[in-house]
Amino acid sequence: MEQVLNKLQGIYLRKMQIKIITDRIFDTVKNDRGRANLKFEDLYIAVLLVYNDINKFLPVTHIDPPSKAKVREIMKECDINFDGEIDRNEFYDFIKQITSDTVTIVSKRLILTFAIAPTVAMLTKKITEGIPHVGNMVRWLPNSVYASTVTLAVWWHQKQKLS
């Protein structure tokens, strides 16, 4: 029962963090543009701000924001009252929907880099230990150094690929 409560509390905290971030961005654009709700142009600026924030904290170089056509499409889906503007509550749903693909892409890259790469590194180390001459050098390296080096190489490769 305690585990279920902890999990629910974690989900609630994540939702609140997203809400705080979306409210901050909504208020920034709303105040800058002098409107109560966001029109398409305002919404696209908000999307650029969100992706700017996402890119600041990623271990990869850059994730492109969605196209204007994609923003317009999702805006139509999230504009519940069909007034052509997005209010604060619609904006929260809009941001969740527009960033869902990005979160999946980022998650896959992070999983590849920080979960799979060390495992593959250790497998290659084990295999190369049996190769004459190479095995002596590989055996000499501590596992933690070898796995870290390969992980950093994968991370660097992904970063270069996205540049």
In order of start, what are the domains of the chain with their CATH numbers? 1-101 (1.10.238.10)
Say which range, 5-9, 31-35, 97-101, 145-149, has the weakest mean pLDDT. 5-9
pLDDT at 46 over 60: yes
pLDDT at 162 over 60: no
Residue 125: the pLDDT is 84
Exposed e or buried b per residue across 101-121, where buried means at least 16 C-beta atoms within 10 angstroms of its C-beta: ebeeebeebeeebeeebbeeb
- Give CA 49 to chain center in angstroms: 14
Per-residue pLDDT tens digits for 93-120: 998 888 877 666 666 666 667 767 788 8
Confidence of residue 39 (pLDDT cuts 50, 70, 90): very high
Instruction: Provide, rounded to the nearest whole percent, the portion of the chain with pLDDT above 70.
Output: 77
Per-residue pLDDT tens digits for 51-89: 887 777 666 567 788 999 999 999 999 999 999 999 999
Confidence of residue 44 (pLDDT cuts 50, 70, 90): very high
Residue 74: the pLDDT is 93
Per-residue pLDDT tens digits for 9-29: 666 666 777 788 888 889 999
d(CA 7, CA 1): 10
Residue 59: the pLDDT is 61
Residue 22: Cβ-neighbour burial (10 angstroms; 0-12, 13-18, 19+): buried
Do the beta carbons of residue 55 and residue 63 sit within 8 Å? yes
